[in-house]
Structure 1
Amino acid sequence: MSNIVDDIKREFEKSENSLVKIILINTAVFLVLLLVKIIFTLSQSSNIYSWIIDMLELPASPQEFIRKPWTLITYFFTHEDIFHILFNMLFFYWFGKLIDEYLGAKRVVALYFLGGIAGGLIYMLIYNVLPFFQTQVESSTMLGASAAAFSVAVGASTLLPNYTFNLIFLGPIRIKFIALFYIILSLAQTVGPNAGGNLAHLGGALVGYIFIKLLQNGTDLGKPVYAIMNGWTGLFRRRPSMQVTYREKQVYRSTSVYSSSSTSSTIEMPDQHEIDTILDKISKSGYESLTKEEKQKLFKASQQK
């Protein structure tokens, strides 16, 4: 058990490991809720567990949401069903690896959060606007990372539409067709028993597409998320103790200066020689042979008009 805890600590200490951190947080929340459910069910206090879930899931009712606005974030870190979290985290991991390799870890976080928030807002909007759903507003709630995962998946498919995944029984399939299949499936189920969740999927998918298209044109929608991430990291970063040295009645204080470039991989605009070298490597060995830095340089070059 101690080895597992140590492994998790090491993963959280890595600066460019956002993909795994998000999966670990979702898994930890799921396991804690599962343990809490078992304990309170056996002690015949299941109403306490229901109250905890109520504090984490997103309500469709605006009046309920005003009482607990944090649920716009907590809902996409909360799962009750093991197959629900398994599918969402696998989906998120497969496509998130591509975003991580080509655009960096911080954009995985931005797509996840913006997709989850947009999915939640669209879910509440549609339930309060469309007559078909209005009768269900007071009793409808949503939880799960599906909208956030869809945002990452569609973002990856927009960035690299012809990238292929080798699926069991089906062989190599371009990821744009995988994303399109799940979008159509969600659209077909918007009047089914899980209508709210499928509406959120579509909201997340829309954000993923817009995020990448704007990024390719030089506009990064993730900047507010990065600012929050940097502020959050700064709260827990250890500051070095101040050293005071006396020499000839003068005081010298040494401190460390933290810059945003120390925590994120800043890729400079490559010159034409670098671009040609990367393109030659692609023609000989394919996209998969590129290093993470080469992929990010290639994307940076594609933004230059």
Structure 2
Amino acid sequence: MSLVKEFKNRYKLSAINEKYIFINVIVFGVIALIGAIYFLGTKGSFNVFVADYFALPSNFKEMIFKPWTFFTYFFLHFGFMHLFGNMLGLYFFGRVFLTFFNVRQFVAYYILGGLFAGLIFAISYNLFPALKGTDSYLVGASASVFSILFGATAKSPSYTFNLFGVLRIPLWVIAGLYTLLFISSIPMNNTGGELAHLGGAFFGYFMTWQLEKGKDWSIGFQDLLDRITGLFKTKSSLKTVHKSKKRTYAGHDKKEFNEFNSQKKIDIILDKISKSGYESLTKEEKAFLFKAGKN
């Protein structure tokens, strides 16, 4: 098997958070490679060119003519440690998020959280006196990652985060410490970035808070993504020529009935987590919750 095919197979089998890690790393690698060649030939910085076209600018006039930067900025990283830190968070916090939510919700939190954070960044540089008149740009997936983290925290604040079996700490403590870090860092050099972090965190928490009330604010976005991805799916030329009467279960088809039972089981497990912590679950309950999060 060639390296390309092996990579494709690995990508297809990966969880959604791992797929996003692949995308971020590939973008970083391509920019780094072109940047190295560009530097050797010109002594110039290719990152300046990339930032000019794909990073989110703070200048409102420039921003109007580059609306795509609201999306592209959270796939850009110009430093290896910046990339590494964000991808580490995306991997671990993403796994926690997928314990409670499905793939479509992950995509919504990641992208919409990044867009909302970009909007907060844009407004801040054109609203607060401390930032007016200064030029900057926003890059990095951290706001999207914090949307994921705070979304999971709002769902199960007492969930115990376990890092390599060494660090065991509830999500609400992690979220609280990050919030303090963002606020305390605002007077420092990365003011716009910290405000964007707060924007992403707020969005993730708000989304889950609304979901718990039965309101899914991302459903329109999820439907839009379904339509877009549907355009690239190969349509089958086969036609159904027979009809069959569906068997119903308490007035529902089999799929709806199974989804209802699965959701009830998830609610029971989450209630157990909130009362006794994640470690109180059995192996079967943990496996079921993790599998449900991937669906």
TM-score, normalising length from structure 1?
A: 0.80
Q: Report which stretch shifted further, 264-273 or 30-39.
A: 264-273
Return the alpha-carbon distance in structure 2 between the equivalents of residues 272 and 59 of structure 1: 43
The match for 1:303 is: none
The match for 2:211 is: 215
In structure 2, the CA distance between the partners of 1:288 and 1:76, relative to structure 1 (3 Å rule), is: farther
The match for 1:260 is: none
The match for 1:269 is: 260
Q: Does 1:85 align with 2:83?
A: yes
SS for the counterpart of 1:172 is strand
SS for the counterpart of 1:28 is helix
Return the alpha-carbon distance in structure 2 between the equivalents of residues 291 and 231 of structure 1: 33
Given residue 213 of structure 2, which amino acid in structure 1 is its aligned partner? N
Q: Does 1:149 align with 2:145?
A: yes
Is residue 113–residue 204 contact of structure 2 (8 Å, CA) maintained in 1? yes
Return the alpha-carbon distance in structure 1 between the equivalents of residues 138 and 132 of structure 2: 15
Return the alpha-carbon distance in structure 1 between the equivalents of residues 172 and 282 of structure 2: 17
Given residue 218 of structure 2, which amino acid in structure 1 is its aligned partner? G
**Structure 1 alignment gaps of length 5 or more:** 244-252, 256-263, 299-305
Is residue 112–residue 152 contact of structure 1 (8 Å, CA) maintained in 2? yes
Tell me which stretches of 4 or more aligned residues in structure 1 moved more than 4 Å: 167-170, 264-267, 271-285, 291-298
Is residue 113–residue 203 contact of structure 2 (8 Å, CA) maintained in 1? yes
Return the alpha-carbon distance in structure 2 between the equivalents of residues 294 and 276 of structure 1: 10
Map residues 101-120 of structure 1 onto 2, 5 A cutoff.
101-120=99-118
In structure 2, the CA distance between the partners of 1:45 and 1:176, relative to structure 1 (3 Å rule), is: same
**Structure 2 alignment gaps of length 5 or more:** 242-254
Q: Which one of the candidate residues 220, 225, 248 is aligned to 1:229?
A: 225
Q: Report which stretch shifted further, 123-132 or 162-171.
A: 162-171
Deviation at 1:39, TM superposition (A): 0.9
Return the alpha-carbon distance in structure 1 between the equivalents of residues 45 and 270 of structure 2: 60
Spell out, residue by residue over 1:180-237, the C-alpha distance to the aligned partner (whole angstroms, 9 max, x if none).
1111101111121111111100000000110101111111122122123212221221
SS for the counterpart of 2:162 is strand
Given residue 141 of structure 2, which amino acid in structure 1 is its aligned partner? A
Return the alpha-carbon distance in structure 2 between the equivalents of residues 129 and 20 of structure 1: 37
The match for 2:248 is: none
The match for 2:8 is: 9
Return the alpha-carbon distance in structure 1 between the equivalents of residues 180 and 144 of structure 2: 17
The structure whose RCO (Cα within 8 Å, separation 6+) is larger is 2
In structure 2, the CA distance between the partners of 1:277 and 1:72, relative to structure 1 (3 Å rule), is: closer
SS for the counterpart of 1:269 is helix
Identity %: 35
Q: Which one of the candidate residues 64, 70, 73 is aligned to 2:71?
A: 73
Map residues 44-193 of structure 1 onto 2, 5 A cutoff.
44=42, 46=44, 49-136=47-134, 139-167=135-163, 171-193=167-189
SS for the counterpart of 1:226 is helix
Q: Could you say what the CA RMSD is over the residues aligned between the two structures, in angstroms?
A: 3.3
Given residue 59 of structure 1, which amino acid in structure 2 is its aligned partner? P
Is residue 101–residue 292 contact of structure 1 (8 Å, CA) maintained in 2? no
Given residue 40 of structure 1, which amino acid in structure 2 is its aligned partner? Y
Spell out, residue by residue over 1:22-76, the C-alpha distance to the aligned partner (whole angstroms, 9 max, x if none).
1111111000110111011111063655222211100011111111100000000
Return the alpha-carbon distance in structure 2 between the equivalents of residues 85 and 72 of structure 1: 18
The match for 2:27 is: 29
In structure 2, the CA distance between the partners of 1:91 and 1:100, relative to structure 1 (3 Å rule), is: same
Deviation at 1:273, TM superposition (A): 8.5
SS for the counterpart of 1:131 is coil
Map residues 243-262 of structure 1 onto 2, 5 A cutoff.
253-254=239-240
Spell out, residue by residue over 1:99-118, the C-alpha distance to the aligned partner (whole angstroms, 9 max, x if none).
21221111111111111011
Spell out, residue by residue over 1:10-29, the C-alpha distance to the aligned partner (whole angstroms, 9 max, x if none).
24445x83212111111110
Is residue 110–residue 147 contact of structure 2 (8 Å, CA) maintained in 1? yes
In structure 2, the CA distance between the partners of 1:297 and 1:190, relative to structure 1 (3 Å rule), is: same
The size of the alignment, in residue pairs, is 276
